[in-house]
């Protein structure tokens, strides 16, 4: 077959399988169309969103493809990807089923397939149909090979082997769940990180995200009228980080929380002055103890965790310097 450049394939694809403006793509299953219409109603009729099909074909879990594609899709306002994920594609039969779905609802195809026969077949079919297709890892693999000078092992899911790093993450997750929201607060010396903060400063989701990175994380709530665990003032090993947010943001989250519980909001828990006092006191506590503070008002969980991991690296270097 005559080869075509990716640019020419992309131009042809744009004509044959355009992004559908202000609704769902024409070639879309009835179930998916109903789901997207419901989504559009929740967003409001004034929001004019565009959708396109995004097919992610992986011989492993598909996490790499999801992370890369969502990072790129986030750069486009008013456009949403309809994700089709095909994990653990390791045989010709499995690839054939994935390609059948791609033909039914064409769109962009991204893949991570280390088997060259499967990758070539996927490229062949997509090119014949004018569907844009890209191996997400090939540019990185080629760069590594040119620098390192050796071939890859070509093993699907190599990053998910049950090695010491994997069991470290499991151990960290078990510790974090056991030390959530001040539970077993006297056992903090085993932690890598301890998060402190008033209610609704994203302590638990941040702790779980860090645990998934192999970082044992405890979190301790700062509640007016309740004493802190004694271990918090005596522990030396872990990095202790204070999480704060603006009073308006905390009040908004707490009001939503009460609403979900069908509880009344006539309480200091959502009183702005009381919340502001809580946050001011938490800042003073961190300042007295020399704990770093992160304002999570406009940060995602991932951004907060990244800042904590940077602090943890510096914290560990201090211990190395002292030893």
| Residues flagged as binding site | 197-204
> CB neighbours of 174 closer than 8 A, spacing ≥ 6?
none
Length of the chain: 323
> CB neighbours of 306 closer than 8 A, spacing ≥ 6?
none
Q: How many helices (H) and strands (E) does the chain have?
A: 12, 8
Distance in angstroms (rounded) separating the CA atoms of residues 199 and 185: 17
Tokens of 277: 């006092």
Decide: 278 and 225 in contact? Cβ < 8 Å: no
Which of 283, 305, 311 lies closest to 207 in space, CA to CA? 305
The binding site for ADP comprises 197-204
Decide: 254 and 200 in contact? Cβ < 8 Å: yes
Decide: 82 and 73 in contact? Cβ < 8 Å: no
Map residue 201 onto helix, strand or coil.
Answer: coil
Decide: 83 and 54 in contact? Cβ < 8 Å: yes
Residue 37 has, within 13 A of its CA and on its CB side, a CA count of 8
**Helix, strand, coil tally for the chain in percent (to 5):** 50, 15, 35
Decide: 223 and 274 in contact? Cβ < 8 Å: no
Tokens of 221: 């709530």
160 DSSP assignment:
G
Tokens of 106: 């064409």
Map residue 307 onto helix, strand or coil.
Answer: helix
């Amino acid at each position: 077959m005559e080869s075509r450049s990716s640019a020419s394939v992309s131009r042809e694809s744009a004509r044959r399988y355009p992004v559908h403006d202000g609704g769902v793509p024409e070639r879309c299953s009835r179930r998916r169309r109903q789901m997207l219409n419901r989504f559009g109603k929740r967003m409001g009729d004034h929001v004019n969103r565009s959708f396109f099909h995004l097919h992610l074909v992986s011989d492993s879990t598909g996490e790499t493809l999801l992370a890369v594609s969502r990072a790129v899709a986030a750069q486009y306002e008013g456009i949403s990807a309809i994700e089709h994920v095909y994990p653990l594609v390791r045989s010709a039969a499995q690839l054939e089923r994935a390609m059948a779905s791609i033909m039914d609802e064409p769109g962009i195809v991204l893949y991570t397939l280390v088997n060259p026969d499967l990758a070539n077949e996927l490229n062949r079919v997509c090119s014949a149909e004018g569907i844009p297709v890209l191996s997400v890892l090939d540019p990185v693999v080629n760069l590594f090979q040119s620098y390192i000078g050796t071939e890859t092992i070509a093993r699907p899911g190599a990053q998910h082997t049950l090695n010491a790093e994997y069991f470290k993450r499991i151990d960290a997750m078990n510790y974090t769940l056991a030390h959530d929201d001040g539970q077993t607060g006297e056992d903090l010396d085993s932690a890598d990180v301890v998060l402190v903060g008033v209610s609704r400063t994203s302590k638990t989701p941040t702790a779980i995200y860090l645990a998934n990175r192999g970082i044992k994380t405890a979190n301790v709530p700062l509640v007016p009228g309740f004493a802190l665990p004694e271990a918090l003032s005596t522990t030396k090993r872990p990095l202790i980080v204070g999480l704060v947010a603006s009073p308006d943001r905390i009040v908004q989250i707490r009001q939503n929380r009460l609403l979900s519980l069908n509880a009344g909001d006539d309480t200091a828990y959502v009183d702005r002055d009381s919340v502001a006092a809580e946050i001011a006191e938490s800042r003073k506590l961190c300042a007295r103890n020399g704990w770093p503070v992160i304002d999570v008002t406009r940060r995602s969980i991932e951004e907060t965790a990244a800042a904590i991991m940077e602090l943890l690296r510096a914290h560990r270097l201090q211990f190395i310097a002292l030893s």
